[in-house]
Structure 1
Amino acid sequence: MGQKRIGILTSGGDCAGLNAAIRAVVCRAVGTYDWEVLGIRQATQGLMHSPPQAIRLELENVDSLRVAGGTMLGTTNQGDPFAFPMPDGTRCDRSEDIIAGYYQLGLDAIIGIGGDGSMAILRRIAEQGNLNLVAIPKTIDNDVGVTEHSIGFDTAVNTATEALDRLHFTAASHSRVMILEVMGRDAGHIAITAGIAGGADVILIPEISYTIANICHKIKERQEQGKNYSLVIVSEAVRTEAGDPVVITNRLGQCRYGGIGDYLADRICDCSGAETRVTVLGHVQRGGTPSPLDRLVASAFGVAAVDLIAEEKYDHMVTWQNRQVVSVPIPEAIAQYQAVDPSGTLVKTARGLGIYLGD
């Protein structure tokens, strides 16, 4: 097997475990195959530059990355390469610049670490430019269809669970309803997993509808049992009772989820009389030291991705299925969005524990 030069980039929102995956790629590619690894700065934007922004990754560069949060390469979740925002306010197709950067670096293949949106863009570019692409799934939302674990999810759940654990004490001390708003985009995996683990009394996810009246019934039921406080965890994508999304638009005109916790707090206070407080966990879920499981999954994915390149098995994504790493074609990986199954094990577990999970 001849020596190869491969690139690696992280795309989309950051999360814990990305550096562990980068480390694993370098350890396998350099240590086993004696290949050269180039880290691409700021996702595909690094390939747009001339010369491309890339650094050579050696074993000594990555030795301590296992426990480091974020990504040493930087990332971005803004700027569609096919309609890239230019300084004059126009939009331009920069895909050919990315392809040119790949060839200018002399890459034999590239590993893209991202969610389903990033993978769709990377694959489109790879097809257009005949690039050899292998993908690794990462997203705290855990909504990539064919993998049981995506890098970053477990750490986000641990963070949300710890927040619930801490809120128990202050809620009980003041006889309050505490609402914890968590991330998840359009899927409720973080909310339901952390909610069960952290002892929430109410879990609200976008996959299951709810009523304020039934939330208040649960709170009053606990009060009648002598339990003077309640914990509510809600996914950011949960809508109002009328079905409207709750969003925030910033000064740049960018729209994102946010505010469902405050919406619920006002209405719960009105119908239950309970003093209510809101905690928005936000980007705390993305940062920090990766959990042992995220380190393990990221390491296994990194090694497997390099092995796919060695086999010249391109246009595939590594996945975690049935306690092992396997690969699937990228189109299959991103074809199905993985929401919480309303009839699945987690929903049955929550309801079996007496948690209000919607109607």
Structure 2
Amino acid sequence: MSTQKRIGILTSGGDCAGLNAVIRAAVHRAELTYGWSVIGLREGTQGLLRRPVDYQVMSLGMVDGAMLRLGGTVLGTTNRGEPFAYPMGDGTVRDRSDEVIGGFRELGLDALIGIGGDGSFAILRRLAQKAEIPFVGVPKTIDNDLGLTEVSVGFDTAVGVAVEALDRLQPTAASHQRVMVLEVMGRDAGHIALAAGIAGGADVILIPEIAYSIEAVAAKIRQVRSTGRNFALVVVSEAVKTLDGSGVTRAYHGGETRYGGIGSYIGDRISEATGAETRVTVLGHVQRGSPPSPRDRLIASAFGVHAVDLIAEGQFDRMVAWSNRGVHSVPLAEAIARNARVLPDDPLITTARGLGISLGD
């Protein structure tokens, strides 16, 4: 294209592996194919709120192969400070969306690529609609719960970290005749627990989409013992509820509440029901900080290239997506609306049951 454009790119929400690979691919495609420049916005919309605007001109020299391997995001990210209800120091909230839009205008940007999940996309889409900003979304979430895409950036790496943890827990479980409980992330969906549990040889997988009973879990552990095996592996998603239907959460500084602790709850119940010695491991943010897996690097690269192509084609308010071994785009609003939880007929549910894995039901 003959007209040079300035494309903004930002990462928003929780970090994950593969974000830098998206940025790298977008810069390569924009500069090498279209002759455009890419402007990296620091810490998501926070960079657009600052004056002067906090940004970085991204050059090919900055986005080499080393960047492809980096976890996290070189631009920084945030999951706080919603522009339409920004928390102020005096405890009030204020609509600062016009300031964000002003920062975008100040940089003279022609379009924006946002790498985020459903929450980030909802905010970015609202900003884009208010200011008529040409916007394209790239899905990233270790939970893999965005609609209309088979996979999001970060999911494969998170599963790999969980599988590696199971590989390390198995020998020590066998050495001490223990039941090892591994708590993995998964805010509302059990995709990480399900995939990692199958790949890591778990005996029990508990996910928020399937109700469980401790007796069913205990029965599986007794069945494992009856075969002569002296240990068991249990994977539980952080969003699994207690038997009375309550989520297990922890309060953090500033009043923020997050999931955490269901692993210990399940471990105690297993010990009470079976007499087994249990140990609990909580992976937490270890799943976010790893260098991206080869598959995440590939998916992220394909997404970054396609996002720039969508801008070149004038296709906006869309999200890049992966299905049928290919990359395409879908309406952003539909992707946000269709939360992709684990369905009862999911092929991996069938696989788990076929392997004799207990899902607690």
TM-score of the two chains, using structure 2 as the length reference = 0.98
SS class of match (1:210): coil
Corresponding residue of 2:199: 197
1:1-359 aligned within 5 A:
1=1, 2-63=3-64, 64-359=66-361
Deviates more, 1:294-303 or 1:336-345: 336-345
Paired residues, number: 359
AA of the residue aligned to 1:50: R
Distance, in Å, in 2 between the alignment partners of 1:141 and 1:275 is: 30
**SS of corresponding position for 2:192:** helix
RMSD across aligned C-alpha pairs, in angstroms? 0.7
- The answer to whether the Cα contact below 8 Å between 2:248 and 2:262 also exists between their aligned partners in 1 is yes
Task: Look up the equivalent residue of 1:30 and give its one-letter code.
Answer: E
TM-superposition CA deviations, 1:70-109 (whole Å, max 9, x none): 0000001112111111122211111111100110000000
* Partner amino acid, structure 2, of 1:343: D
Structure 2 letter corresponding to 1:194: A
Distance 2:45 2:203 in 1: 43
Q: Distance in 1 between matches of 2:107 and 2:237?
A: 42
How far off its partner does 1:321 sit? 1.1
User: How far apart, CA to CA, are the structure 1 residues paired with 2:252 and 2:74?
Assistant: 28
The one-character-per-residue Cα deviations of 1:183-235 (angstroms, maximum 9, x if unpaired) are: 01100000000000000000000000000111111111111211111000000
How many angstroms does 1:312 deviate by? 1.1
- 1:251 deviation in Å? 3.5
Map Cα deviations across residues 17-58 of structure 1 (whole Å, 9 max, x no partner): 000000000000011111111000000010011221111000
Distance in 2, matches of 1:343 and 1:216, equals 25
Higher mean C-alpha displacement, 59-68 vs 191-200:
59-68
What is the alpha-carbon distance in structure 1 between the residues aligned to residue 149 and residue 6 of structure 2? 28
Equivalent-residue separation in structure 2 for 1:199 and 1:50 (angstroms): 52
Q: Tell me how far apart the structure 2 counterparts of residues 79 and 357 of structure 1 sit (CA, whole Å).
A: 38
Q: What is the aligned-residue identity percentage?
A: 64
How far is 1:252 from its partner?
2.3
Q: Which runs of no fewer than 5 residues in structure 2 stay unpaired? A: none
Q: Secondary structure at the match of 1:332?
A: helix
State the alpha-carbon separation in 2 of the partners of residues 44 and 349 from structure 1: 42
Residue 178 of structure 1 deviates from its aligned partner by 0.3
In the aligned structure 1, how far is the partner of 2:227 from the partner of 2:319? Answer: 50
Q: Per-residue displacement from partner, 1:300-331 (whole Å, max 9, x unpaired)?
A: 00000000011111111100011111111111
Contact kept in structure 1, 2:185 and 2:237, CA below 8 Å: yes
Find the aligned partners of 2:351 and 2:219 in 1 and give their Cα distance.
Answer: 20
Structure 1 residue 290, shift from structure 2 partner: 0.3
Structure 1: 5+ residue runs without aligned partners?
none
SS in 2 for 1:38: strand
Cα deviation digits, residues 153-209 of structure 1 (max 9, x gap) = 000000000101111000000000000000011000000000000000000000000
SS of 1:60's partner is coil
* Alpha-carbon distance, 1:358 to partner: 2.4
